[in-house]
Amino acid sequence: MAKYSSKDVGFMLLGSYSVLAAVSSIEDSVTLKLNETYSLGEADESFWSGGAKQTEIVQEGWYDDAVGNLHQAMTDLSTVELPMTIAIHGNAINMPASPVAGTEIDIYQSVQRVGYTVQMATSEVTKAQARYGIWYGKKRGKLVAPLATRSTAANLDADDAKCAVAQPAGTNGGAAVLHITGLTGTPTNVTITLRHSVDGVTYTDKQAFTAFTPANVLTGVASQYMTFTGQINSWVSASWAYTGGTAPTVTFAVGVYVAP
């Protein structure tokens, strides 16, 4: 079991929701399930493990009740499963700066909202406990695109300060996670593409995420855990492009997990 202080967390995203509270604790626990194997007449209890693990996250603290935050995400306990990403080392790439190995993040492929207990509420904040059921466990990934608002369609790798490193490279595929928390300017949709490079000079498109609409963001589902196969290179980045819209902007974060 590990506990992290909220001050160290850059973001905590569930689908399109920002569920990081102003003051909170985040408890992440993994339990190995044991089954009894002793039978009637045996003197001592014995147990057997099939290897199945149960992962849960419990988050407790003070939450803003603004649109797109935890209170909206949890109040009706939607049964829609969403990916969750926690930037445990902050919302900046290449942290720590030395050795450069990419900013670690926790990626949860499929999260179910299973409990929400409101303890008290003031005018704009709510004290509550949120509980998440986790499918497929947790993967330790790297931050590719910090959560930030971008305007004109572009490539993150055109700027050193925004280009991520995911080390080591892999040949067994992996997964990338996308969270879009804002989409303005009424574009028909926005497409984010995962890109990579062996040398940090030429970046090729690896795989595009599903295109998302402003309505997807409003309903909290503009996010995707996208698996990919084959080679993923050390330098990993992202690009974004809109269909239609007037001076559109998009707020998103991307992470990558390289399979061992």
Partner 1 sequence: MPKSYRALVGFSCPADPESLKKWKAGKKDQAKLMVVKKGDKVEPFNEDILKSWLANDAVEEVKSNG
The residues of the shown chain that bind partner 1, judged by CB under 8 A, are: 155, 157-160, 163, 193, 195, 197-199, 201-205, 233, 239
Query: What backbone torsions phi and psi does residue 123 show, to the nearest 5 degrees?
Result: -65, -40
- Residue 235 structure tokens: 């330098």
Q: Rounded CA gap, 52 and 74, in Å?
A: 27
3-state SS track over 144-163: EEEEEEECCCEEHHHCHHHC
**Minimal distance in Å, beta carbon 204 to partner 1?**
4
Query: Nearest CA to 73 among 81, 149, 178?
Result: 81
Residue whose CB is less far from partner 1, 30 or 198: 198
Q: Rounded CA gap, 59 and 131, in Å?
A: 6
**Minimal distance in Å, beta carbon 196 to partner 1?**
8
Residue whose CB is less far from partner 1, 17 or 240: 240
Residue whose CB is less far from partner 1, 30 or 148: 148
**Minimal distance in Å, beta carbon 195 to partner 1?**
8
Residue whose CB is less far from partner 1, 97 or 201: 201
Type and span of the H or E element at 175: strand 174-184
**Minimal distance in Å, beta carbon 206 to partner 1?**
8
| Contact yes or no for 207/228 (Cβ under 8 A) | yes
Residue whose CB is less far from partner 1, 52 or 148: 148
**Minimal distance in Å, beta carbon 197 to partner 1?**
6
